[in-house]
Amino acid sequence: METEQKLERRPPTPPEPVQDQPTVPLDPQTGTSELTLDIPHPEEASASTSGLSKNPTLQRQLLEAALYVSGRPLDLKTLGNVIGARSEDKIRAIAQTVMEKYNQNESPIQIVELPDGRWVMQLKATMTKYVRRLSNRPLLTPGPLRTLGFIALKQPVKQAYVVLVRGKLAYGHVKQLREMDLITDEKVGKTRVLRTTSTFADYFNLNHDVIEMKKELKYVFGNPDAPSA
């Protein structure tokens, strides 16, 4: 008997509540807002972070804040621009310090270095099944979502086998998933071999290592064999 499963986006860190903002008065002559947005020149922005190297505590806080608000993986260069650091070794060391802080506090949130060197703040896999109903609207409808989950668990998997298990509608699912850059395919003989992409791992906050990813998925799904149509 096939086991039904759903792949849902793992929720990011809950946002802070937004407070009401005061009404911005209008200029009686121009009818426009008196509030102007001051966007600094790149050189000014660089100068504004030049003194951060003397404040390691603030650098750690800024790196943590950058990962929090981005909701996606960030590379060392981007993080360095935020915290005012150029040395990749130094940026990585600061990120590791923040990561260790979360690990020591037994937080449900973790900071992870991905195989490609980027860093991300995400919910631990062990917490996902308890709060996934609170996540945002699914990226896909149930059919393609189950096909995507099946591919992720069985990858690398032949498209012919996916269609055998999921039915002929899987052809359309595979096309949609490929167009969304969630899976990639490689022609082997008369069929195609399907795998998930880094975009898939980033969106669902999963490990980029396939073996570790499957462990996370099996933990959430209860080690299912195959999804239903």
Average pLDDT over residues 165-183: 90
Whether the per-residue pLDDT at 183 is higher than 60: the answer is: yes
Mean per-residue pLDDT for 104-122?
87
Q: Which of 228, 201, 229 is nearest to 217 (CA)?
A: 201
Among 64-68, 199-203, 205-209, 214-218, the range of highest mean pLDDT: 64-68
Copy the structure tokens of residue 130. Answer: 């308890």
Q: What is the DSSP letter of 74?
A: B
> May I ask the CATH architecture of the domain 136-221?
Orthogonal Bundle (1.10)
Residues spanned by CATH 1.10.10.10 within the chain? 42-123, 136-221
Choose between 221 and 57: higher pLDDT.
Answer: 57
Query: Is 184:201 a contact under the CB 8 Å cutoff?
Result: no
- CA 26/CA 24 separation, integer angstroms: 7
- What CATH class is the domain 42-123? mainly alpha
**Residue 168, pLDDT above cutoff 80:** yes
